[in-house]
Amino acid sequence: MDRREIALKTLTRTNIHIQKTVFLLLAVLPPFAAYVLFTLYPNVLSIYYSFLDWNGIGEKKYIGLDNYIRLFQDPVVLNALKHNLILVATVIPITLIISLVLADLLVNRQYKENKFYKVLFFFPNVLSLVVIALIWSFIYDGTFGLLNSVLRVLGIGGDHNWLGSPKTALASTIPLYVWCYVGFYVVIFMNAMSAIPKTIYESATLDGITSFQRFTKITLPLMSGIIRVGMIFLMLNVIKGFEYMFIMTKGGPGGATEVISLYMFNLAFGTESLSQHFYGYASTIGMLIFVLLVLLKVVIDKVFSKDSVEF
């Protein structure tokens, strides 16, 4: 092989390497630029805004840590955080338990070949947030609501204003959250359970293990990783989401359904008057939400700190 052939092969390899590099850059740069522009940059700006007294449009005034001092003295923040923690403590375990039980029934019982149930459970996830909120507002309507109608038929009341009473407003939103998320996690858990080798269950059956023991000692440990991920995403949705509260109750009555993300939204955009927009303070609350999410993520990681079982 003469020098010309060697040089030609080297040049060909170089051109191929350059083409691959250019292709990778063209494939990666647009989404990375979009991430920096629409996600990273606004979040970094929020840190800066949290030190300002600003309505979002007018003159910015640097006030140091005043927003953070106000944060810990604001009774609305404490009330909203309490509501968020109540939702986290109820919605997450209820949703995961129901989803796991239903997924196990559908995978390991006579319904395992029927895809109709997957579609049925997943149906709430294809509806818009507004439609879901309106459906549940009708269910809880104090006069013509479905829940009160059923209670009247059963002869146990039926005239309660579920969303209009401070005692029941927050509790009434818990079934809404569970209904929205159960279907999604049923499908996810069904797919995860279907991936577990049948030989594991067959060996356990030969050892005389019961269905309950199979679920608690085999299925759950093998699915600890996916359960952990599901718990994290549920936590994010429950804490960051405020759409249902905004549409159904506006945080009322009397702040009974005020959650931290809704309070942040109302501070930044909730009124027509710019003088009532507190963009800087809203950014400070955004920092609080970020810290809260990180802390809860650490707690979840501690709960699932043991190495996950592999198969």
| Cα–Cα distances in angstroms (integers) from residue 270 to residues 108, 135, 288, in the given order | 49, 24, 19
Closest CA to 137 of 157, 158, 166, 164: 164
pTM here is 0.85
The pLDDT score that the predictor gives to residue 307 is 52
Question: What confidence tier does 12 reach under pLDDT thresholds 50, 70, 90?
Answer: low
Tell me the per-residue pLDDT of 29-44, one tens digit each, with 9 for 90 and over: 888 889 989 888 988 9
Tokens representing 106 are 């559908």
Q: For 96-137, what is the HEC assignment?
A: HHHHHHHHHHHHHCCCCCCCHHHHHHHHHHHCCHHHHHHHHH
Tell me the per-residue pLDDT of 122-148, one tens digit each, with 9 for 90 and over: 888 888 889 999 999 999 998 888 999
Rounded to whole angstroms, the Cα distance separating 138 from 147 reads 9
Tell me the per-residue pLDDT of 262-306, one tens digit each, with 9 for 90 and over: 999 999 887 756 567 898 999 999 999 999 999 999 998 888 876
Rounded to whole angstroms, the Cα distance separating 178 from 252 reads 21
Tokens representing 236 are 């994010």
